[in-house]
DNA sequence: GAGGCTAATGTCAGCCACTGACAATTGACA
DNA sequence: TGTCAATTGTCAGTGGCTGACATTAGCCTC
């Protein structure tokens, strides 16, 4: 980040200023959102703190919601690119499973480049507990699902529009991921390790949960 | 609807007027939404057609989005109450499966009491294809999931906060339901029978889709 | 069936998210 | 240094939504 790397042109002053403004808007917004709440924070408050006009804010972010997902967007990218690197011998479900876990393993550093990890985690909880943001979050997840389904289909040499299994498998998998995020948000272990552990645990339960009868196996403890 | 039934007090003029206003707002709104699009329809247009003030609209519906889900809300109720009537001997997944199918079997009549079925179906497609509405739809579904998970837990004599299987099973199931709705919306069979058939077909694929390897079984045709 | 009570509705002013149009500023680059 | 283009600011306006207060209209009693 400090030494200009060969191959990529060093960004000029203009580009650096833009990046700085964008990062400042994200940091200030998340700080305000997590302290006083999303709804109680106005765009005017954010731009006043960063000293830009409201119009500038809306040129960087299409909406007030969008800024709340800026970091989240990056983390999702980690998962998708991890999936792209899984060995093709792996079955679809194992590939998905290993990709999420690997993404959580590397998320910490990636996040810290933009905002403090702790701020990211608080923001994640805020998204889960703010109706307007939760709705957007779920739609974004649905869009990501489509991307993932196509990757899975490719791995298996299938066409997503011919064979429903890729979309179905991904939908079931994502459903479990969503519950994981939800339960993590309600729990008390506010750490990346916590969410990783919960992910692993919940995925292990998917098979048994779909069995014809549950009356055999033992349960598990609370999140 | 015409003869006052004994046991229930006949609703007075005030109550009937309210019901009429509410129904008119729903019908006009769905009509406008489906013909000119959700975003391009203003609340002012709706209230002008029904001849009430904007303030009245917002006393019936908390937001412009809410009116788009009025009928949908009722259909979801059919599913939940069907689930409540499944025999307790049935395993969780079978109970879920039979409840959706039964709900689709009876949805037609229930819908027709409020709006033409064809308008409901067009509205459903509009929800799926309008980002702002899709987001709300997904959040509402997530809320319904929680309700359903609790019902499943009760059936099995479990506590949702102790055993993760109810939430996980419901999440996987709902994921498939969501994909079904999505695929139905993109397809060409715009009928209640069509969505019922697709539901059945996709649920049959869930087991195989979660198998360690797919290279054995045959695929299926497009939606 | 006149009058009081209260639920429903209308009116008005105002906040906030967001947008288009146009002017002012400021890096980039010859 | 001057020109070009990208970035930002200003301003006016739209649409969703809300609180406060006035008005209307069904309901119920005497």
Q: What share of chain A is helix, strand, coil (3-state, %, to 5)?
A: 70, 0, 30
pLDDT at A221 over 70: no
**With contacts defined as CB-CB under 8 Å, which chain A residues touch B215?**
156
Express as a percent the part of chain A with pLDDT over 90. Answer: 79
Above 70 in pLDDT, residue A139?
yes
Distance from CA(B137) to C1'(D10), angstroms, rounded: 38
User: Rounded to whole angstroms, how far apart are CA atoms A35 and A125?
Assistant: 12
Q: Is a pLDDT exceeding 70 seen at residue A5?
A: no
State mean pLDDT over B132-145: 96
The pLDDT tens digits of the residues spanning B58-114 come to 999 999 999 999 999 989 999 999 999 999 999 999 999 999 999 999 999 999 988
A160 touches chain B (CB under 8 A): no
Residue B207 — very low, low, confident or very high, per pLDDT cuts 50/70/90?
A: confident
Q: What is the pLDDT of residue B9?
A: 55
Which chain B residue is nearest to residue A198, measuring alpha carbons? B164
Distances (CA, A) of B210 to A136, A142, A170, B5, B213: 27, 19, 9, 52, 8
Mean pLDDT calculated for residue range A166-188: 92
Distance A47 CA to D10 C1' (A): 15
The residues, any chain, with a CB within 8 Å of residue A50's CB and separated by 6 or more, are A21, A24, A25, A28
Write down the mean pLDDT value for chain B. 90
Q: Mean pLDDT in chain A?
A: 90
Cβ-proximal residues to B45 (8 Å cutoff; 6+ apart), any chain: B32
Domains of chain A listed by start with CATH number: 13-64 (1.10.10.60), 69-209 (1.10.357.10)
pLDDT in the model for residue B82:
96
Predicted pLDDT of residue A218: 47
Residue B216 has pLDDT above 70, yes or no: no
Give the residue among B53, B57, B56 at the shortest CA–CA distance from B65: B57
Residues A3-32 have a mean pLDDT of 80
- Taking the C-alpha atoms of residue A86 and residue A89, their distance in angstroms, rounded to an integer, is 9
């Amino acid at each position: 980040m400090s030494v200009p790397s060969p191959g990529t042109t060093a960004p000029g002053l203009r580009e650096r200023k833009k990046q700085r403004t964008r990062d400042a808007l994200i940091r200030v917004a998340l700080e305000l959102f997590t302290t006083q709440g999303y709804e109680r924070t106005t765009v005017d408050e954010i731009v006043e703190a960063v000293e830009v006009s409201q119009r500038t804010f809306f040129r960087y972010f299409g909406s007030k919601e969008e800024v709340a997902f800026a970091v989240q967007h990056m983390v999702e990218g980690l998962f998708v690119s991890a999936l792209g690197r899984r060995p093709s011998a792996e079955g679809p479900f194992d590939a998905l499973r290993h990709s999420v876990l690997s993404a959580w393993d590397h998320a910490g550093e990636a996040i810290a480049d933009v905002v403090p990890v702790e701020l990211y985690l608080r923001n994640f909880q805020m998204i889960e507990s703010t109706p307007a943001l939760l709705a957007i979050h779920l739609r974004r997840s649905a869009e990501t699902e489509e991307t993932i389904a196509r990757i899975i289909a490719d791995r298996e040499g299938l066409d997503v529009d011919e064979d429903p299994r890729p979309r179905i498998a991904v939908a079931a998998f994502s459903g479990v991921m969503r519950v994981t995020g939800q339960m993590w948000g309600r729990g008390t272990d506010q750490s990346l390790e916590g969410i990783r552990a919960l992910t692993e645990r919940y995925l292990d339960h998917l098979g048994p949960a779909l069995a014809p009868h549950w009356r055999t196996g033992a349960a598990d403890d609370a999140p």
